[in-house]
Amino acid sequence: MPYINVEIKARTNNAEEIRNWLVDHNADFKGTDWQTDTYFNVSNGRLKLRQGNIENNLIFYFRPDQEGPKQSDFQLLKIDNPNLLSEILSQSIGIKTIVKKKREIFYIDNVKFHIDEVPGLGNFVEIEAGNIHKNLSREQLLEQCNYYRKALKIEDLDLLNRSYSDMILERAI
């Protein structure tokens, strides 16, 4: 079943401040996930296998590269045997790149917050307002994203218009 997120990704030097704000506002802390995202070669969209100690999913999505809130249309499949699936996809369509990160995961209602450390790239915060459990419009999701962006004091100059995978690929050139 397809879902949509409206999401914001930004650099941060204020991870502790963001973490404290989330705790002070009763965010549900799901834990720290050590994730490996393997991106595969596909002709359109993006296909990644997320392997972690909390999340193990195959995710196919379309998302424009733009700063600020952006809509992501995605399909998500929970995976029981991510190692085998990684091997099958690697052999059949090939790996585009791999992103490793430490991710703290918080929720406030339908909004998911990530505080990420990506080796070689730095520290980041993500806000994802999603309709996976609620029937909310794109406009309502955008409103939620903007509200939390302001609350977490995310500045325009910190916003990113590309994914970690794009940044890793750019560094490799």
Closest CA to 18 of 162, 126, 121, 160: 126
pTM above 0.85, yes or no: yes
**Under DSSP, is residue 110 helix (H, G, I), strand (E, B) or coil?**
coil
Query: Residue 146 is inside which H or E element, if any?
Result: helix 138-151
Q: What is the reported pLDDT for 80? A: 94
Q: What is the reported pLDDT for 2? A: 67
DSSP structural state of residue 139:
H
Q: What is the reported pLDDT for 137? A: 87
Amino acid type, 31: G
CATH number for the domain whose boundaries are 3-172: 2.40.320.10
**How far apart, in whole angstroms, are the C-alpha atoms of residue 154 and residue 14?**
10
Q: What is the reported pLDDT for 71? A: 83
Number of H helices, E strands in the chain: 4, 8
**Under DSSP, is residue 133 helix (H, G, I), strand (E, B) or coil?**
coil
Instruction: Please enumerate in sequence order all residues whose Cβ is within 8 A of that of 29, keeping only pairs 6 or more positions apart, or say none.
Output: 22, 23, 104, 105, 106
Are 36 and 98 in contact, with CB atoms under 8 Å apart?
Answer: yes
Q: What is the reported pLDDT for 68? A: 74
Are 154 and 145 in contact, with CB atoms under 8 Å apart?
Answer: no
In tens digits, the chain (173 residues) has pLDDT values of: 567 889 999 999 999 999 999 999 999 999 999 999 999 999 999 999 999 999 999 999 988 777 778 888 889 999 999 999 999 999 999 999 999 999 999 999 999 999 999 999 999 999 999 887 778 888 999 999 999 999 999 999 999 988 999 999 998 76
